[in-house]
Chain A
Amino acid sequence: MGVSELLASALRMSVPILLTALGAVYTERAGVVNIGLEGMMIAGTFWGAVGSFYYGPFVGVLLGMLAGMLLALIHAVASVTFKINQIVSGVAMNILAAGLTRFLCIQFFSMATTSPQVHSFKAWSIPLLDQVSFLKPVVTGVSPLIVVALLLVPVTYYVLNRTVFGLRLRSVGENPLAADTLGVNVTLTQYAGVLISGALAGLAGTYLAVEHTGMYIEGMTQGRGFIALAAMIFGNWAPVGAMWASFLFGLSESISFRVVASKIPYQFIKMIPYVVTLVVLAGVIRRATPPAADGVPYERGGE
């Protein structure tokens, strides 16, 4: 078992976390906590599989993202428009997604917990780099979605820091009252942040089902939506930070796969990613600086 194989596996494991963590960056920088990302990811796994099963992986991606966005829309209506507690609404999305998916799975596939095998994207090899023997496991058999996920890191950075949309998004998460008085449409901006997070979580779910496993399995997200939230916090609400944090979590996951043959009981090995999450958050949370108005519903005052 070489280092490069481990890295290749870690990269593949970190992609769903990374995509969802980037989504979390958008929603939280807009001031809306979206703990329903896990549910949006679940919706992505199922609808990605459905789309891919019937029409191929492109439609899978499309449906997966739309499914995530639909749940995100419900979350936005509840928490932005109706100012319902964002945690409560997010938890509701998770429960809704889990229940609805099982119901729909029976409807579509006549099986409660899995789909049949679905089509995947044609894997890529990165030209030139695949000639380097050390990098070979990392750069061959690459899902296009991995490349998309990695490209989304600089894109997100650029959007947040160099576009009008990003400036307004961040302003809404920091001080919605100030943004409002300066003519920024707070509601619309928050909707945009939440919907983007849903789309990315849906894409992450699609990656899991279509690319990683080749089928939908109930519960296949295994709490990665929550781990992605942890990665976003660990990454200090920034895309590049979230990327490194996602990679750390991906690495711990791939390690947990590879030490199956040891004497330590399997269950303990499976805990590694979650223990890493806890340790990282406990150690990091104090110096993290969330957006100032994160999680606080904005209501126009009397004045």
Chain B
Amino acid sequence: MSSTTGAEIVRLEGVTKRFPGVLANDRVDLSIMGGEIHAIVGENGAGKSTLMKILYGLYRPDSGTIYLRGAKQSIDGPGRAVALGIGMVHQHFMLIPAFTVTENIILGHEPSRTFLNFKKVATHIGELCRKYGFSLDPGAPVSSLSVGEQQRVEILKVLYRGADVLILDEPTAVLVPQEVAELFNNLRALKAAGKTIIFISHKLDEVLEIADRVSVLRQGRMVGTVEAARTDKRALAEMMVGRPVLFDLTKPQVTPGDVLLDVSGLTVPGRGTRPVVNAASFKVRAGEVYGIAGVEGNGQTELIEAVMGLRKPIAGAVHLQGQAATGLTPGELRRRGLAFIPEDRHKRGLVLPMTIWENLILGFHRDPGFSKPSGLNLKSIMSHSNEMKKRFDIRLSRLENPVLALSGGNQQKVILAREFSHDPRVIIASQPSRGLDIGATEFVHQQILKAKGAGKAVLLLSADLEEVMSLADRIGVIYNGEIVAELAADQVTPQELGLYMTGGKRQTREGVPA
């Protein structure tokens, strides 16, 4: 199929999709030009993914028409979409870790029906890689690849099937900044080769950087399409949310009080001989947000797990409110006023199939308020849950629904409600806004600053530099398991932080290991 740069390649007219209780897409019109990078933005639940799944044939629209290259098409399944030259890279990769890159790419679309000629296939894949500037070893098992490389395999899968319209669903959500830069280079190469790219995102900075045009969805409706060069973040955010959005957070001015969390010389063994966390020391005071910045995989997860009692340190100590707290169980730590927002809310933060109200009291279910000798005190739990729903603005239809039915933002609100409602003294927030849209991120940030204003000590861990810099008072940079620098947030630039984060620079002063 030849690419048709400049002419309209995809046109949606009046596409409507209704799910039980939700109007996911409401008479959406969309026009995509051949050879452009077209971003589709909107908050979680705005209907971006639904719209794209309709284009890819995963959903049938209730009404509306799809035109491809001017011809009306009925796309009744992904197979039809692929035949029409449409490919989709899903947010959650559909890869087989035990397979090689080549095996993953050809699966389901093998060059012959019987025997596999890997040599021939590898040559073809090598050609695709060269053409679009992808660096990948076709023989490497996917399990050995970084997330960014795995994404490249997904894109290659789509290209191998001959797509010239590529749909990328939140492709940057899983990437670290360096990988985002490489993805954007790949996308530019694809665009230069005449491919059309539909880029779903809610990260406005990225959208403005990569897209030619931006279409905004809000609550299932198309708000409008604008040229990226003629708009800015503020205007887009307002289109998305329907009201002005505050990007500059005002930190409440609080004089830091006593040291509530004191981590000294904490060392956690790794798989090899080198510890994953090496003599990490820092103090977090009441009314202070202490940020830990670092490229993912430098020991921050293990550090937090050691502080939380989920992992055993071999050296060092943790003091909570002045009392020794090393080696205590998570339950004991929580009773002593430690709250925890884990980085993976699906695995650690929630029990997804359990109801919303159950998740709201998890870990506190033995509290006198929630239990009575005969079992749970449902009456008080329900009134508590309803109160939490109001206070934390959790959008839900029924408290009895499983928490997995909620959107990511609302799931995070359930965790915040649970963790913040028991008056903790110290809050550990690990990647608190990961995967959340603007509105939910704003809410999480406000809650963290509110906690700081209320005199709590907050330890914030984030891969998002902007988040760390806008929330934290002091920032510890972790590199290779060591805290290599400790800086005041208002006296440091992102570039400088980046230098520490990648090991290009380190501080040598008292209290920080050299």
A residues in contact (CB < 8 Å) with B? 162-165, 167-168, 170-171, 174-175, 177-179, 181-184, 289, 291-292, 303
The answer to whether B109 and A183 touch across the interface, beta carbons within 8 angstroms, is yes
Q: Which of these, B58, B94, B106, B113, contacts A303 with CB under 8 Å?
A: B58
The answer to whether B99 and A174 touch across the interface, beta carbons within 8 angstroms, is yes
Q: In the assembled complex, how far is the CB of residue B131 from the closest CB belonging to chain A, in whole angstroms?
A: 22
Q: In the assembled complex, how far is the CB of residue B144 from the closest CB belonging to chain A, in whole angstroms?
A: 14
Supposing A181-B78, A183-B79 touch, asked if A163 and B115 sit within 8 A by C-beta, the answer is yes
Q: Which of these, A170, A184, A303, contacts B108 with CB under 8 Å?
A: A184
A selection of 29 A-B contacts at a CB cut-off of 8 Å is: A162-B115, A162-B116, A163-B115, A164-B110, A164-B113, A164-B116, A165-B114, A167-B103, A167-B110, A167-B116, A168-B108, A170-B96, A170-B98, A171-B96, A171-B99, A174-B96, A174-B98, A177-B94, A178-B96, A178-B107, A179-B96, A182-B108, A182-B109, A183-B79, A183-B109, A184-B107, A289-B98, A291-B98, A292-B97
A182 to B107 CA separation, bound complex (whole angstroms): 7
Is B95 located at the chain interface by the 8 A CB criterion?
A: yes
The answer to whether B112 and A164 touch across the interface, beta carbons within 8 angstroms, is yes
Residues of A within 8 A of B115 (CB): 162-164
The answer to whether B108 and A179 touch across the interface, beta carbons within 8 angstroms, is yes
Q: In the assembled complex, how far is the CB of residue B159 from the closest CB belonging to chain A, in whole angstroms?
A: 14
Which residue of chain B is the closest to A161 with respect to CB atoms? B116
Q: In the assembled complex, how far is the CB of residue A292 from the closest CB belonging to chain B, in whole angstroms?
A: 7
Residues of A within 8 A of B53 (CB): 303
Q: In the assembled complex, how far is the CB of residue A118 from the closest CB belonging to chain B, in whole angstroms?
A: 37
Closest 6 CB pairs of A and B: A182-B108, A178-B94, A183-B108, A174-B96, A164-B110, A175-B96
B residues in contact (CB < 8 Å) with A? 53, 58, 78-79, 94-99, 103, 106-110, 112-116, 118, 157
Residues of B within 8 A of A163 (CB): 114-116
Q: Which of these, B58, B79, B95, B107, contacts A167 with CB under 8 Å?
A: B107
Residues of A within 8 A of B116 (CB): 162-164, 167
Q: Which of these, A168, A289, A291, A303, contacts B107 with CB under 8 Å?
A: A168
Q: In the assembled complex, how far is the CB of residue B504 from the closest CB belonging to chain A, in whole angstroms?
A: 38
Which residue of chain A is the closest to B92 with respect to CB atoms? A177
B-side interface mostly = loop
Residues of A within 8 A of B58 (CB): 303
A175 to B90 CA separation, bound complex (whole angstroms): 15
A184 to B97 CA separation, bound complex (whole angstroms): 17
A292 to B106 CA separation, bound complex (whole angstroms): 20
A291 to B157 CA separation, bound complex (whole angstroms): 22
Residues of A within 8 A of B118 (CB): 162
Supposing A163-B115, A164-B115 touch, asked if A175 and B94 sit within 8 A by C-beta, the answer is yes
Which residue of chain B is the closest to A158 with respect to CB atoms? B115
A168 to B99 CA separation, bound complex (whole angstroms): 11
Residues of B within 8 A of A175 (CB): 94-96
A167 to B79 CA separation, bound complex (whole angstroms): 19
Q: In the assembled complex, how far is the CB of residue B313 from the closest CB belonging to chain A, in whole angstroms?
A: 25
The answer to whether A181 and B94 touch across the interface, beta carbons within 8 angstroms, is yes
> Which of A164, A170, A184 has most chain B Cβ within 10 Å?
A164
Q: In the assembled complex, how far is the CB of residue B61 from the closest CB belonging to chain A, in whole angstroms?
A: 16
Residues of B within 8 A of A179 (CB): 96, 107-108
Q: In the assembled complex, how far is the CB of residue B84 from the closest CB belonging to chain A, in whole angstroms?
A: 15
Residues of A within 8 A of B114 (CB): 163-165
A168 to B107 CA separation, bound complex (whole angstroms): 7
Residues of B within 8 A of A177 (CB): 94
Q: In the assembled complex, how far is the CB of residue B45 from the closest CB belonging to chain A, in whole angstroms?
A: 14
Q: In the assembled complex, how far is the CB of residue A173 from the closest CB belonging to chain B, in whole angstroms?
A: 9
Which residue of chain A is the closest to B53 with respect to CB atoms? A303
Q: In the assembled complex, how far is the CB of residue A156 from the closest CB belonging to chain B, in whole angstroms?
A: 15
Residues of B within 8 A of A289 (CB): 98
Supposing A162-B115, A164-B115, A183-B79 touch, asked if A178 and B109 sit within 8 A by C-beta, the answer is no
A167 to B99 CA separation, bound complex (whole angstroms): 9
Which residue of chain B is the closest to A289 with respect to CB atoms? B98
Which residue of chain A is the closest to B117 with respect to CB atoms? A162
Residues of B within 8 A of A168 (CB): 107-108
Residues of A within 8 A of B97 (CB): 174, 292
The answer to whether B113 and A178 touch across the interface, beta carbons within 8 angstroms, is no
Residues of B within 8 A of A171 (CB): 96, 99, 103, 107-108
Residues of B within 8 A of A183 (CB): 78-79, 108-109
Which residue of chain B is the closest to A178 with respect to CB atoms? B94
Given A164-B110, A164-B115, A165-B114, 7 other A-B residues pairs in contact with their CB atoms under 8 A: A164-B116, A167-B107, A170-B98, A170-B99, A174-B96, A175-B94, A175-B95
Which residue of chain A is the closest to B108 with respect to CB atoms? A182
Q: In the assembled complex, how far is the CB of residue B53 from the closest CB belonging to chain A, in whole angstroms?
A: 8
Residues of B within 8 A of A184 (CB): 107-108
Which residue of chain A is the closest to B49 with respect to CB atoms? A303
A170 to B116 CA separation, bound complex (whole angstroms): 14
